């Protein structure tokens, strides 16, 4: 396992917004076929990290390799082709509210291939079924859906093109615990079915243990711990321990004061 090229390899990733150093040398390997959860406090730069890997934010320094290829050095056409291999579930869904649900789900398909709208809708309804939504939902508008349904539609849109890599940004935030468990279940099912490599961001510990094989903690702009997701609750790392157990006292608070 150790010799294989990781699906995603980050080295020395740095990104600052103005004077604020959000990422300060992130090193991370995500082996192929692994579901990695990244935990970390609000505002610790988890979303920025994912957006860097997606190419939505240009990092100041560092390398991002996917399948061993340096993404930022790739020519534009190959970068675009690589994008088609990545699905993303955004933190707040980011559904296109000017398009009906089915067009949201089929959007990537219609953008990449010249698919007739009828066929695209049929395909979208098939994907909606995979996330437990009836075909009739396809005709609704995003604003007509509950939060849980919006997450499902966002998930459907992310998996529609059967991507090799999936990103989930706080998939259960804002949902009740039961709906959160349902969405986690769907995520695990989808990732298994597609055989994808997944990176999920969360600060919901129950969710982290349900989704993840491996886990890493982002703090102070760096990965301060990584290991099996099963070890999250007894990692032996004081930063992780404080975070996963939700303690008020500990090194993280001291870091905030300092």
Partner 1 sequence: MNALLDGLAALGRGAFAACRFAGALTLFALAGVSHLLRPPFHLRAFLRAFVEFAYFSLPVVALTAVFTGMVLALQSSTGLSRFSAESAMPNLVVLSITRELGPVLAGLMVAGRVGAAMAAEIGTMRVTDQIDALTTLSTNPMKYLVAPRLLAGLLALPLLVLVADILGVLGGFIIATVSLGFNRAIYLENTFNYMTTQDVVSGLTKAAVFGFVIALLGCYHGYRSRGGAQGVGAATTSAVVGASILILAFDYVLTELFFAR
Distance between CA atoms of residues 55 and 90, nearest Å: 14
Binding test (CB under 8 A) with partner 1, winner from 21, 32, 63, 91:
91
The interface mask with Mg ion, positions 24-63, x = CB under 5 A, is -----------------------x----------------
**Least distance in Å: CB of 101 to ligand ADP?**
26
Give the span between the Cα atoms of 170 and 92, in whole angstroms. 8
d(C-alpha 175, C-alpha 179), whole Å: 6
CB 133 within 8 A of CB 107: no
* Pairwise CA distance, residues 21 & 18, whole Å: 8
Looking at 90-221, which runs of residues are DSSP E strands? 165-169, 197-202, 214-219
**Partner that binds at residue 146, options Mg ion, partner 1, ligand ADP, none, CB closer than 5 to 8 Å by kind:** none
40: its two tokens: 């970390």
* 114 in contact with ligand ADP (CB under 6 A): no
Which residue, 43 or 185, is less far from ligand ADP as judged by CB? 43
Verify binding: residue 203, partner 1, rule CB under 8 A. Answer: no
Q: Does 45 bind ligand ADP (CB under 6 A)?
A: yes
Q: What's the CA gap between 204 and 222, in Å, rounded?
A: 20
42 contributes a contact to ligand ADP by CB under 6 A: yes
The nearest distance, CB 232 to partner 1, in angstroms, is: 27
H helix or E strand, kind and range, residue 58: none
C-alpha span between 232 and 245 (Å, rounded): 10
- Strand-pairing partners, residue 217, are 39, 225
Does the protein bind ligand ADP through residue 47 (CB under 6 A)? Answer: yes
Nearer CB in complex with partner 1: 2/98? 98
Can you tell me which of 12, 43, 139, 228 binds ligand ADP, judged by CB under 6 A? 43
Catalogue the E-assigned strands of 127-189: 165-169
Judge contact between 15 and 23, C-beta under 8 A.
yes
**Residue in 8, 13, 22, 190 binding ligand ADP, rule: CB under 6 A:** 22
Site for partner 1 in 35-74 (CB under 8 A): 51, 54-56
The mark string for 136-165 relative to partner 1 (x by CB under 8 A, - otherwise) is ---------------------x--------
State how far the Cα of 191 lies from the Cα of 258, in Å rounded to an integer. Answer: 40
Q: Which residues are at the interface with partner 1 (CB under 8 A)?
A: 51, 54-56, 80, 83-84, 86-88, 90-92, 94-98, 107-108, 111-112, 157
Q: Which residues are at the interface with Mg ion (CB under 5 A)?
A: 47
């Amino acid at each position: 396992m150790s010799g294989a090229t990781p699906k995603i390899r980050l080295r020395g990733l740095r990104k600052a917004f103005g004077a604020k150093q959000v990422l300060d040398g992130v090193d991370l390997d995500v082996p192929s076929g692994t579901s990695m959860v990244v935990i970390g406090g609000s505002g610790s730069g988890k979303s920025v990290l994912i957006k860097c890997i997606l190419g939505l934010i240009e990092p100041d320094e560092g390398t991002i390799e996917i399948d061993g290829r340096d993404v930022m050095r790739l020519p534009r056409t190959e970068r675009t082709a690589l994008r088609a291999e990545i699905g993303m579930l955004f933190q707040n869904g980011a559904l296109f509210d000017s398009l009906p649900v089915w067009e949201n789900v089929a959007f990537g398909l219609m953008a990449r291939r010249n698919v007739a709208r009828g066929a695209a809708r049929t395909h979208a309804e098939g994907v909606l079924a995979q996330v437990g939504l009836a075909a009739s939902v396809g005709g609704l508008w995003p604003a007509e859906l509950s939060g849980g349904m919006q997450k499902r539609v966002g998930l459907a849109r992310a998996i529609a093109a059967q991507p090799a890599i999936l990103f989930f940004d706080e998939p259960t935030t804002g949902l009740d615990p039961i709906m959160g468990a349902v969405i986690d279940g769907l995520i695990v099912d989808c990732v298994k079915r597609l055989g994808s490599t997944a990176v999920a961001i969360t600060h919901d510990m129950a969710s982290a243990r349900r989704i993840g094989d491996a886990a890493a903690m982002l703090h102070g702009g760096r990965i301060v711990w990584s290991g099996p997701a099963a070890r999250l609750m007894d990692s032996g790392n004081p930063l992780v321990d404080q975070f996963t157990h939700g303690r008020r006292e500990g090194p993280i608070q001291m870091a905030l004061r300092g």
